[in-house]
Amino acid sequence: MIKHIVFWKLKEHAEGGDRAANALKMKQLLDSCAKLLPGMLTFEVALAQPGLEASYDVVLYSEFADKATLDAYQDHPDHIAIKPFIVAVREARQCMDYAA
């Protein structure tokens, strides 16, 4: 199994929206990718919650059956289609993939 975890810090304003609006839109876009392929075992998108410590705005926690499934997700047209928005609104990104 491969775990794929990504954190995004968003710009204050981008693509006509503020940080909060863009975080919600980003979550909706990512959630639309949750069941793209067999072998996607877990796919959870969360937003930073007021009152709880967070240095990033959006997190994706996902588990894939194997590296081939993760690679297929990365190359899936629906995933590729949401990337321009994410790139436009993000200030920073951190990612880690690891075998579990």
44-83 pLDDT, tens digit per residue, is 999 999 899 999 999 999 999 999 999 999 999 999 999 9
The pLDDT of 14-42, averaged and rounded, is 98
pLDDT number for residue 87: 98
Q: What is the pLDDT of residue 24?
A: 98
User: Is this structure's pTM higher than 0.75?
Assistant: yes
CA nearest to 5, candidates 99, 100, 94: 94
Q: Which domains does the chain have, with CATH numbers?
A: 2-99 (3.30.70.100)
Q: Residue 76, class by beta-carbon neighbours within 10 Å (0-12 exposed, 13-18 middle, 19+ buried)?
A: middle
Instruction: Give pLDDT, residue 31.
Output: 98
Q: What's the rounded Cα separation, in Å, for the pair 61 and 73? A: 14
Question: Roughly what angle, to the nearest 10 degrees, separates helices 77-89 and 19-31?
Answer: 170
Residue 17 pLDDT grade (very low, low, confident, very high; cuts 50, 70, 90): very high
Question: What's the pLDDT score for residue 8?
Answer: 98
